[in-house]
Amino acid sequence: MEFVFSSLTYLLLLVLTAVLLFLIRDELKTKQVENNVDRLIDAPAPKSWPILGHLYLMARYKVPYRVFDEIMADLGSVFRLDLGSVPCVVINGLQNIREVLMIKGDHFDSRPTFRRFEQLFKGDKKNSLAFCDWSQLQKTRRELLRAHTFPNATSNMYVRLDKCLKTELAELMDTIGALADTGCVDLKNLLLHSCANTFLSYFCSTRFSNTYDRFREFVRNFDEVFYEVNQGSAGDFLPSLTPFYSWHFKKIRTWSSKIRNFMETEIFNKRKVAWVPGTKPVDFVDNLLEAVMQPDRDDGFDLDIGLFSLEDIIGGHSAITNFIVKTLGFLVDRPDIQRCIQEEADAVVRASGTCVGLADRPLMPYTEAVVFESLRLIASPIVPHLANQDTSVNGVRIPKGTTVFLNNYSLHMSPELWENPEHFSPERFINAEGRLYKPDYFIPFSGGKRSCMGYKLVQLISFCTIGTLLNKYTLMPVEDVSYAVPKGNLALPYVTFPFRLRPRKK
């Protein structure tokens, strides 16, 4: 019988060859890494002290990461630091950071264990979205959240977010309107509640009155938690100090259990009772209930984990509020920048006859550039990775179990990459055609499989809030208040600088 290759056979052969080549390439890559291990050099390290290791170096500057520049100048782009008893490496430069995040993403997808942070998650880091190691469970959580945290501009979720934002911002503008004449507004407090309600209405289809005491306590607890996780602590690196932290750990557990109590009694339990299997999901709580109720799950995703994920994501409102308040702090003595935002906002509001919305982003590149510039200045390597196997970066040996700091602070403050890097200058993100420009060495949200899950919400919500606020008001400093906004970190204390808000004449 004559054997004729059909086009299907050709296709199958092609696919098989491609798979074979892929497998060979992978095998060769692994062999290469194995062979190279012997030729690797150990990471150089500065002089260390007994017990403290290099911890003493971190106290030298107001922004602790500045010391990394000094060490890098002496020892090169990959160096070791022993922080107390924790072996760490600091990775500098875009190429090396890319090697960690992209090329060897699988070698570095774990997180170090910090007992302080475990207090927030019933003593188990697996319950946390940001502090867990990589696993099938983490993959499930990220996939479940994707449609909600990265809403596509053409999706229903995008429209939903726009609606939630406009509703909450309209209420915020009314509240500020009633206070603006007092000359001193605690904007962080107002923004926290507004942003919490945006998150709650978007993810959970519910919201609460600003005068409801339990809601106010819920919002405050989240902000305390956010401030806590953004602070370094010697106890994280010196386990022998743990007994001295027992009171502090208790405080952290109290915040966390109060948040859980509110979440369950005010939001989740009612939704669980009302949930009808098979109905079309409307918000993240629906997706979560659907996932949790699925029988025979083998990835460990259960009700408790689901609730932790929900809390983690709702807590993002505090990150965004702190970021917005910091940005407003950068703008308070820059009427020139405020005027540029106002010109953009006035134009879109005049054209639409309504208010600033997500659809206006392409028409307001300067406002977006302001968000980028603020992100550049607050970026920090606060969320470290962990090497889960013996590996290397740029030919330097990284033993399994090493904590890895990706130094995006220096990347964003390098005078070689940025002109006058200490200066707040949104223009650096605008290209010659007047469009928003994002250099590839600008990575405030990191990259790869552990990249920030909230980056899109940060950009969308900050843009809309700043555009709306400056469309209605001009920010002015309150007399005798310092607006020295700390760089290289994101969190502000719960009580922070107030603002004067002058209503704009239209």
464 is annotated as contributing to ligand binding: no
CA 78/CA 282 separation, integer angstroms: 47
Q: Least separation, in Å, of the C-beta of 374 and ligand HEM?
A: 8
Cβ nearer to ligand HEM, comparing 151 with 235: 151
- Residues with Cβ within 8 Å of 182's Cβ and at least 6 positions away in sequence, in order, are none
**Closest Cα partner for 435 from 488, 385, 495, 361?**
361
In whole angstroms, give the CA distance from residue 330 to residue 487.
10
User: Which tokens belong to 123?
Assistant: 């003593």
Q: Rounded to the nearest 10 degrees, what angle do helices 136-149 and 284-293 cross at?
A: 150
Give the nearest residue (CB) to ligand HEM. 454
Q: CB of 128: closest distance to ligand HEM in angstroms?
A: 8
Task: Please classify residue 152 by burial: count the beta carbons closer than 10 Å to its beta carbon, then call 0-12 exposed, 13-18 middle and 19+ buried.
Answer: exposed
Helix and strand totals (H; E) in the chain? 17, 9
CA 500 to each of CA 80, 171, 479: distance values in angstroms, whole numbers, following the listed order: 46, 19, 9
Closer by beta carbon to ligand HEM, 279 or else 451: 451
Shortest reach from residue 237's CB to ligand HEM, in Å: 19
Q: Which is nearer to ligand HEM, 198 or 446 (CB)?
A: 446
Sequence-distant (6+) residues with CB within 8 A of 213 are none
Rounded least distance, CB 131 to ligand HEM, Å:
8
| Collapsed DSSP state (helix, strand, coil) of residue 86 | strand
Q: Nearer Cβ to ligand HEM, position 228 or 349? A: 228
By C-beta, is 52 or 377 nearer to ligand HEM? 377
Residues that bind ligand HEM (CB under 6 A): 129-130, 149, 312-313, 316, 319-320, 323, 375, 383, 385, 444-446, 450-454, 457-458, 490
Q: Encode burial over 475-496: b for 16+ CB neighbours within 10 A, e otherwise.
A: beeeeeeebebebbbbbbebeb
Number of other residues whose CB lies within 10 A of the CB of residue 172: 23
- Smallest distance, ligand HEM to C-beta of residue 231, A: 16
What type of residue is 31? K
- State how far the Cα of 58 lies from the Cα of 70, in Å rounded to an integer: 11
* Closest to ligand HEM by CB, 245 or 255: 255
The residue (of 84 and 316) whose beta carbon lies closer to ligand HEM is 316
Q: What is the closest distance, in whole angstroms, from the C-beta atom of residue 498 to ligand HEM in the complex?
A: 21
Q: Which residues contact 235 (CB under 8 A, 6 or more apart)?
A: 115, 116, 241, 242, 244, 245, 248
Q: Which is nearer to ligand HEM, 67 or 458 (CB)?
A: 458
The least distance separating ligand HEM from the CB of residue 506, rounded to whole angstroms, comes to: 31
Shortest distance in whole angstroms from residue 366 CB to ligand HEM:
19
Give the residue numbers of the binding site for heme: 452
Give the residue numbers of the binding site: 452
